[in-house]
Structure 1
């Protein structure tokens, strides 16, 4: 009996431990509301390594959003610390934001949307001990790529935020409401109250409270905005898990057959032996011998040298005496000991509401409990309070399994072959849940009072509210009703217990024992710029000076003004009471506190922080806090001092003042900042006021230091040349040794960065105009509606080609200059331009050709022939083709100037009669098909712009 019980207990214990360790994976919701996981790719997060699979220090992967939310539910005070963490991160990104300005909704939304913040929070929780490495590994194993928790952030119906994420640089006053991902998925208020299922290995016995988002970031309101959610989860039947086999490698299964769990224990002296038992007989004294014999079907035992004896039906003690007397007659001075070597098997029957009814061959030492375990235990409708043991028609006994489950008392009645164990249907049942130690579904047998049911449930917890016990009752065959203990307000614990003892329970009752309030009602709170923020006990008549004793209770430089946020009854709406901190510390204005008061102290730089700004030529320009007595010289030193290009003779100090409370008047003063900083001249220094701006100027000509121009090509000494301010192109060419004999100054290319930027803007504007021009601007009014489709297709192809050419030709930045080989002839004339830093002058070799491009039959370079016109070179290129626009042919000179139909020269009536020089380019544009005048002019400009870089390219090839 005890051996099999031990086996069952061992199995149950192992299974229980397995359930705890694997509960997280079983309870994890793979379709958690948020859908966020650590597989998101936080490309900007330096805390990740190996693609975001683990933290950089080798710790497990960061927590997901719902996992962090679950930890915050268990540790609500952590929310305040996380707001400080978010504030610090925002400060690092250059966005000043105070922790008090971050609401719960903003924090939840940022956690849901930012993998980087989740990684930082994981590191924070791990460093504070809220989660361990084992927890993180369990979370990662249980999540399976999804959240291991099911959690929704409570929201009000009117909170909407289309973006779904809250960047740190969004100021809190710009946010009206931030719903969570669960709310966006259609979460209703009804399913927000379900408790959080945590993957921790040791979940707390007490049900979790629900922290609703507070309208103000006050710790007092955070305590008050808690709900005790109703536990609507299905209760398990008490004792149902005893008959389940659990292992670390399989799910719960019905208990195995008795043959799989052999009973191997010594039989006691009262054991009744019978056919099939194997006895070991040991003799010593006159003879030393050990024999083993099996009792035959007739109940006889064969003894050595003594024949057979009838032993069936005798107890083991009596059988030993009979065997000893028989053997002593054969062996002189022999001592005899008899033990049971192997127990016989008996066949019994288990019927009724059991998992596997039928006949079972079990050990002869088995009890009805062993037989019930072999049959898999009762079904969901089988009774645990009434187990009947029959021998034939005789009722041997009735067994209450609650005696074993609750008190460890086992029935010692052994089974005999042919016995029957009957499990009848269950009797009346009552559910007990809430603040009890064993919430479950209990079967009644003799218990008729509420006190007895609470005893079966292990008693109430220390947080139970005895005066708030609610029973959902079923009036048999009629209706449902809800009743409660009839306790008057202010009842003592003794009267509550007396009422519990006298309160009757009925079949079908659901007993809910509520918890006491999850917060203390005699507290005050301290937060802000103090050394010890948090909760403090409250007593009647408590005054503010008992909380703020001296400046040692506060951080350095507190603000002069503090505030008490009071929750005014009866609805506990917040009101703010201001007080003067110095006056309070010396005993004046000593306010009387009330429960739930929040004393908030601000820092001097938090309450409308006085700031000054320094800019210009200092090492660390920016905005600095204005300390008492700060001067301009001290501000420069705080900013790292002067840079080498700083102008020390004077600096600008701009101040402002409010006139009449209606307008701001600015005032600028000049100070000798060099004397004030370097020579400590107080007369040159100036005290600063909030909002002052100090500007340190730059030395004249500092940016021109090291200016140079690059000369390439056909000069005597090409290279990089420095120059003085105002130096001209002729001077640089003379320093470069002048032109070589092979040079071609008429085709010189001067590239300037400023010109390139202007060309880039002009080209982008031209592309924008072409792309955004309407269809009406492209079409001719005379085109019939039937021809519009084909015409629009041709225009689209034409537009695509022109845009492609524009984008493929980068801006050259060429500045058109007019110079020749005789430097003296153009020196100090308008053609002799001033050089700029970064200029590149390229002098090509004299080309021996003229280039003909565009819509001609043979676009090519034609050998230069003196005195020939553009028409002569065009004929040598085969002439214009059929799609050429002959009326808009233009010539691009080697120096970059353009000769066209509207250039204004005396020969503008016929560009083809222009005499060309080496390096000139004749461009025959494409005909603009079916377009208006506006569209034709627009594409003509585009074709010119795309062709203008040809001469610069030609110069670079020479």
Structure 2
């Protein structure tokens, strides 16, 4: 009994499962193309959307047509956009299937996919011949696919056929909508009317026939005063199948939209082969040729009236090319062109875009074949229209000669130098007048006329300009390609300038002017610096015509702060190439600073008061040592030649920038005086940054030292790299300095010095070739070896003889030797013991051992021989 119940339950489960699957199938089928306006795209799964696309494809619709039908059926624009996005997403992930209206073929190693939004293809590399064939790239260009636009009203001349969907709207006194499909017999069945044959009719004719047929139902459609109206629209466009044969890359049958034209078919087939005809493309319908297409008419004239719309079972034939010629030279489009039998050379020039501006169009040359060989013919321009090209002809046109038949040129001291047309009887005077006349600085006594002879050699004719202009000499007749050069008086002399340097705001070279004084030049150079002396301004003047050995004439003058020349030199004027030098005032000194850090009462920055100020003076100004100071560890840090400090100009620029910043911090509107001051500061800062800075500190000898050390380092990598430091640590004996101020231990301080005084140090550090580098507490009773023992002792690589101690003040003491004894340096608080390592020795090679053995053997033999 239980077994029977179990079987009964199993049967019920199978029944309900099957029923569920049937309901699911019906539900899935409900997402049909006809009900697309009711679909919610967000509720569709990818599988349901894929099924919808497949149904559309089975009806002959592309994805574009599916969207158009959804829009026609009343689907909201937002849902249409979502549908497009979902379809594109499916296409990218590779889940959708390719529609029947698309054609996918492998053509010459690339994939052609004709769809609404993309045309995927690999980049095509054309051969040299293909590049030159006019029109070859037209159907192999992914940016020009000729896809028909379906988002337009159906043309009235569109011919209906089986598979077309007709949407008939009745409006006015009566309202109704019909959704009809033309069946395979060309009929549509209208309820209460019956079948109506529409196949082969245009939309316009079908509208008229349907209006008459529906008139039996809607009486308001007819009569002189109709009150009911009808609108016929084509919804789902049918697909058609056409065949392409002949010289195309991928001949065969293609399923296309019924809106497709011949160009669409050619593009779907991958384009025409290099040997195919572009001008005799034939379209056959029902075994009769209905059109002959010339692509050149589209490429040259933009006319595609012969690009007929295709119908089901049409055949497109692309025959081989019959006549192709080549044209090269200065034409707009060089290459190969297909010619018809009734076309001439003038037509070929038209196809090539015509001649360029540099072309010599009076004649051309053609290379053509005979029955046995090649031959050359020349064609004059008057025969272009009568010359009929032959297959294989190559036409070559030349360029204009690179010469002028009537050119003369004039340059130099004229108002309008340039190129002018040579007129009959023109002379030098006429050319000068055409050039606007002479400038006031023209050199009148002599000019040069460069003339080209018949053999293309140059001839120079001397011209006296002043005599010709005044009429005292006969004018010189000009010839083609003559070049007249009239120099300026300044072209014939060295350019004059003067130089000013020293304590001036803008040193440099300036243009010389007549009657220029030293005051004028100082004014032009921005005035004197604060550091300049107004007396003993030196002028170095060139010496001419002096064979005594004198090199320059030195002149001294005095000026005041108002730039007035004092004394007897008030009428002194400068001469070309004078060099003015403004000296620095002997009493001017720039502030220089040093620093004291560490254990003093008043650490910080101090200005150097006197040129001979010493460490003891600086220490006294800092308040002396405090109770924590360790004077034996004091160090003086001093800049070396590698230190690149700011120049005076850079220091001034920095200070002015700080002044400007502080002015701008004021929490109120700036006054007129402050605005003027800010503008003046900006100008000064810009000038200081303009590359006029003096040498940035130090003496010239420091630069030579620096260059010498850098050269040594570059030539010898074994030199210590510490030489590139910009500061050195000088060991000083501060105890002796305090006890004996002014003694040799008491160094004179320099700008940038830092006196560093540490606290009392209580440690000793061991570094280098010791077993355990460490830092130990200082004990006065311990010596060098005791501290080495605290570090574990020497290593096998240690160079004991080379060990040394660096003291806290920077002094260094090395280990010395006496006979067989080593004298190690004394250890003080803060010392650092350095144990260097031995150099690694390379093992003796086999060749070395053989050489030693050979030498010893030879020596033994020699000694033995001597003993005998």
TM-score w.r.t. the length of structure 1 is 0.47
**Structure 2 match to 1:623:** 509
Distance, in Å, in 2 between the alignment partners of 1:849 and 1:386 is 107
Note closer, same or farther for the CA distance 1:409–1:839 as it changes in structure 2 (3 Å cut): closer
Please, which of 693, 706, 730 is the counterpart of residue 813 of structure 1?
Answer: 730
Give the counterpart of 1:508 among 376, 392, 408. Answer: 392
Deviation at residue 550 of structure 1 after TM alignment: 11
Structure 2 equivalent of residue 465 of structure 1: 360
Q: Does 1:838 align with 2:838?
A: no
Q: Contact 1:605–1:625 at 8 Å: present in 2 too?
A: no
User: Are 1:425 and 2:342 an aligned pair?
Assistant: no
Aligned partner of 2:497 among 582, 606, 611: 611
| Contact residue 755 and residue 814 of structure 1 kept, 8 A | no
Q: Deviations over 1:774-800 (max 9, x none)?
A: 9xxxxxxxxxxxxxxxxxxxxxxxx89
Distance 2:708 2:369 in 1: 82
- Are positions 1:498 and 2:393 aligned together? no
TM-fit CA distance, 1:475: 3.3
**Does the Cα contact within 8 Å between 1:472 and 1:509 map onto a contact in 2?**
yes
Instruction: Give the alignment partner of residue 654 of structure 1, picking from 525, 528, 540.
Output: 540
Relative to structure 1, is the Cα distance of residues 535 and 716 closer, same or farther in structure 2, using a 3 angstrom cutoff? same
- For 1:678, what is the secondary structure of its paired residue? coil
CA deviation string 1:738-790 (max 9, x = no partner): 7778878777655554699899999998999799779xxxxxxxxxxxxxxxx
Distance in 2 separating the partners of 1:770 and 1:276:
92
How has the CA–CA distance of structure 1 residues 811 and 454 changed in structure 2, closer, same or farther, with 3 Å as cutoff? closer
Residue 499 of structure 2 contacts residue 578 of structure 2 at CA under 8 Å; is this kept in 1? Answer: yes
The alignment status of 1:668 with 2:554, answered yes or no, reads yes
Equivalent runs, 1:452-851 vs 2, <5 Å: 453-454=348-349, 460=355, 463-476=358-371, 478-481=372-375, 483-485=376-378, 496-501=380-385, 503=387, 505-517=389-401, 520-524=404-408, 535-540=419-424, 542-543=426-427, 566=450, 568-569=452-453, 594-595=480-481, 597=483, 604=490, 608-659=494-545, 665-674=551-560, 677-679=563-565, 683-684=569-570, 686-703=572-589, 705-707=590-592, 720=606, 722-726=608-612, 749=635, 752-753=638-639, 803=720, 811-814=728-731, 819=736, 831=744, 835-838=748-751
Distance 1:412 1:652 in 2: 93
The separation in 1 between residues aligned to 2:756 and 2:164, in whole angstroms, is 122
**How many pairs align?**
629
- Kindly provide the CA deviation profile for residues 702-724 of structure 1, in whole angstroms up to 9, marking residues without a partner as x: 23x54566566777777636533
Q: In 2 relative to 1, CA 545–742 (structure 1 residues): closer, same or farther, beyond 3 Å?
A: same
Q: CA deviation at 1:812?
A: 0.8
CA distance in 2: counterparts of 1:306 and 1:927, whole angstroms: 116
Provide the rounded CA distance (Å) in 2 between the counterparts of 1:265 and 1:351. Answer: 29
Quick check: 612-621 or 662-671, which moved more?
A: 662-671
Please report how far the alpha carbon of residue 485 of structure 1 lies from its aligned counterpart in structure 2 after TM superposition: 1.8
Q: Name the SS of the counterpart of 2:398 in structure 1.
A: strand
Q: What's the CA shift string for 1:881-934, capped at 9, x where partnerless? A: 6546469878979795979869xxxx99999699x8976969786586799xxx
Q: CA deviation at 1:862?
A: 4.5
Contact 2:784–2:824 at 8 Å: present in 1 too? Answer: no
- 8 Å CA contact 2:323–2:391 kept in 1: the answer is yes
Report the Cα distance in structure 2 between the residues aligned to 1:393 and 1:434, rounded to whole angstroms.
44
Write the distance in 2 (CA, Å) between the matches of 1:751 and 1:508.
Answer: 91
Change (3 A) 1:371 1:612: closer
State how far apart, in whole Å, the 2-side matches of 1:845 and 1:414 are.
101
1: distance between equivalents of 2:764 and 2:286? 124
Work out whether residues 531 and 585 of structure 2, in 8 Å CA contact, stay in contact via their aligned partners in 1: yes
TM-score normalised by L of structure 2: 0.50
- Counterpart-to-counterpart distance in 2, 1:462 and 1:656: 59
Distance 2:632 2:610 in 1: 26
Q: What residue in structure 1 maps to residue 341 of structure 2?
A: 446
Q: Deviations over 1:278-307 (max 9, x none)?
A: 999xxxxxxxxxx99999999999999999
Q: Is the 8 A contact 2:532 2:582 kept in 1?
A: yes
In the alignment, the residues of structure 2 paired with residue 771 and residue 643 of structure 1 have an alpha-carbon distance, to the nearest angstrom, of 41
Which structure 2 residues correspond to residues 208-607 of structure 1 after superposition, within 5 A? 237=133, 244=139, 250-253=142-145, 352-353=246-247, 379-383=273-277, 424-436=319-331, 441-447=336-342, 450-451=345-346, 453-454=348-349, 460=355, 463-476=358-371, 478-481=372-375, 483-485=376-378, 496-501=380-385, 503=387, 505-517=389-401, 520-524=404-408, 535-540=419-424, 542-543=426-427, 566=450, 568-569=452-453, 594-595=480-481, 597=483, 604=490
Alignment of 1:140-219 (within 5 A): none
Q: 1:539 offset after TM fit, Å?
A: 3.4
For the 8 Å contact 2:417–2:435, the answer to whether it is kept is no
**Equivalent-residue separation in structure 2 for 1:341 and 1:920 (angstroms):** 104
CA shift digits 1:507-544 (9 cap, x unpaired): 21011233434775544556788776664444355455
Q: Is the 8 A contact 1:656 1:691 kept in 2?
A: yes
Q: What is the rounded CA distance, in whole Å, between the counterparts of 2:198 and 2:632 in structure 1?
A: 138
CA distance in 1 between partners of 2:594 and 2:149 (Å): 102
Structure 1 match to 2:74: none
Counterparts of 2:255 and 2:769, CA distance in 1: 109
Q: CA RMSD in A?
A: 7.4
Please say if residues 759 and 811 of structure 1, whose CA atoms lie closer than 8 Å, have aligned partners that are also in contact: no
What is the match of residue 122 of structure 1? none
Aligned-partner SS, 1:623? strand
Residue 265 to residue 607, structure 1, CA distance change in 2 (3 Å): farther
User: How far has the Cα of 1:644 moved from its partner?
Assistant: 1.0
Deviation of 1:653 (Å): 1.2
2:14 matched to which residue of 1? none
TM-superposed deviation, 1:609: 2.4
**Structure 2 match to 1:150:** none
Equivalent pair of 1:610/1:691 in contact (CA under 8 Å): yes
**In structure 1, C-alpha distance between the alignment counterparts of 2:767 and 2:549, rounded to whole Å:** 65
Q: What is the distance in 2 between the residues matched to 1:277 and 1:850?
A: 104
Deviations 1:50-82 (A, max 9, x none): xxxxxxxxxxxxxxxxxxxxxxxxxxxxxxxxx
Once residues 310 and 879 of structure 1 are traced to their aligned partners in structure 2, the CA distance between those partners, rounded to angstroms, is 120
Q: Evaluate the alpha carbon distance shift between residue 746 and residue 414 of structure 1 in structure 2; reply closer, same or farther with a 3 A threshold.
A: closer
What residue number does 2:58 align with? none
CA distance, structure 2, for counterparts of residue 402 and residue 732 of structure 1? 99
1:348 touches 1:360 (CA, 8 Å); kept in 2?
Answer: yes
Shift of 1:699: 0.8
The CA distance in 2 between the partners of 1:400 and 1:627, in whole Å, is: 78
